[in-house]
A and B are shown apart, each in its own frame.
Chain A
């Protein structure tokens, strides 16, 4: 018990970094994903190709590789990111691609009649997207977005590889130093708590959207 209290501060500070990566990635990748998905359903072919290529690249290679390329590879061509920024950059670009695909599916499941209905009521395209399409898409994509959000909590441990002091690193350091499994077990418990809380929040959000069918 005494030992747990001793290592807890360093684990919690690692968890703090994990949460920061988590939150900033969501803040960046959700809007970016939405914008990309609007490009995917637009009629502008070159734009579609470009975004499709981007999505293919991001989803077709490991996030770990992307992280390493951004932090260790980019400096070779003169682009230097500090560790934390490199992590956010790679995570946001990667997750935006997944979200773009999810949103595209959601957008395409909206009946064309909804757009026509809005059109004959003389709503502008922007008003239609904001008032008619997005509220319906949010409900549709919520479960899939939720899955990605949970994945992101765990994926965030990949920042370990570029030397960021996240939760996993904090646990690993303590385990190596004190030759005991306890820190790693605690790390597992903290991840479980984080995912449990997130699952709960997502459940509430889904419930919030259950007032209509």
Chain B
């Protein structure tokens, strides 16, 4: 369970997130919706430790942790970026095994086997030796998901998972997220697409651009 208490984030004197409380229960999908500029990406970046919050605290299973400084290999938050940010010079398999071998010190063989399993789970079993540029957007997204899952995160976050894809792939993404939920994955999904967000969500957080800025 991920809990945010009293989280505040400012850029200069603009308060983007104002004293936010939030709980994501294990195995559930939380959708964060709101118009462009509302601070959805910023919130996600705070949760994933890419931005430092100004106030408030984070708890994972009741234990305080600071995503910004946390370097332990527990309390891992995985991320699927809006434009995936795969490593273009590495094959699909290498993209997935890099961090497990270098950070978790998994053996090459274990990491490979695990990556292959993830790829098969995501219908990419035959694509392990290809490079990102050889894949479609939807396939790249699934590689990004596999890469994040290989680090065995507690929570997996997505920023606008439908925005870089063909509109008709929206349902694929819904199925994918619900499939991972069935596997027990806790997920946070940022979107400005309300229907999509409602279809996948156990819980919704609506954010509005902060009036005071």
A: residues with CB less than 8 A from B are: 111, 113-114, 116-117, 119-123, 127, 131-132, 135-136, 139, 211-213
Contact = CB atoms under 8 A, between A and B. Distances in A.
A120 B98 contact: no
A98 B89 CA distance: 26
Interface string B74-98: 0011110101011111000000001
* Dominant secondary structure of chain B at its interface with chain A: loop
Contact of A123 (B76, B78, B89, B99): B99
B87 A116 contact: no
B103 A121 contact: yes
B209 to A, nearest CB: 24
Given A135-B89, A211-B131, A120 B73 contact: no
Interface of B: 48-50, 71, 73, 76-79, 81, 83, 85-89, 98-99, 102-103, 131-133, 147-148, 151
B71 A113 contact: no
A113 B81 contact: yes
A141 to B, nearest CB: 14
Contacts of A114: 85, 87
A138 B81 CA distance: 25
Contacts, number: 57
Contacts of A117: 79, 81, 85-87
Given A113-B83, A114-B85, A116-B81, A121 B133 contact: no
Contacts of A212: 88-89, 131-133
A122 B176 CA distance: 25
A23 B83 CA distance: 42
A136 B81 CA distance: 20
Contacts of B99: 121-123
Given A111-B85, A117-B85, A119-B49, 6 more contacts: A116-B85, A117-B86, A121-B151, A123-B102, A131-B102, A139-B89
B50 A123 contact: no
22 contacts: A111-B85, A113-B81, A114-B85, A114-B87, A116-B85, A119-B50, A120-B77, A120-B79, A120-B148, A121-B99, A121-B103, A121-B148, A122-B76, A122-B99, A122-B103, A123-B102, A123-B103, A132-B87, A139-B89, A211-B131, A212-B88, A212-B131
A122 B147 CA distance: 12
Contacts of A120: 48-50, 77-79, 148
A59 B148 CA distance: 44
Contacts of A139: 89
Nearest to B87: A132
Contacts of A123: 98-99, 102-103
Contacts of A111: 85
Among A119, A135, A139, A212, find the residue whose CB has the most chain B CB atoms closer than 10 A: A212
B147 A121 contact: yes
B80 to A, nearest CB: 10
A18 to B, nearest CB: 35
B49 A127 contact: no
Contacts of A121: 98-99, 103, 147-148, 151
A41 to B, nearest CB: 19
A136 B90 CA distance: 10
A157 to B, nearest CB: 37
A89 B137 CA distance: 50
B98 A136 contact: no
Contacts of B49: 119-120
A113 B73 contact: no
Contact of A127 (B81, B87, B102, B131): B102
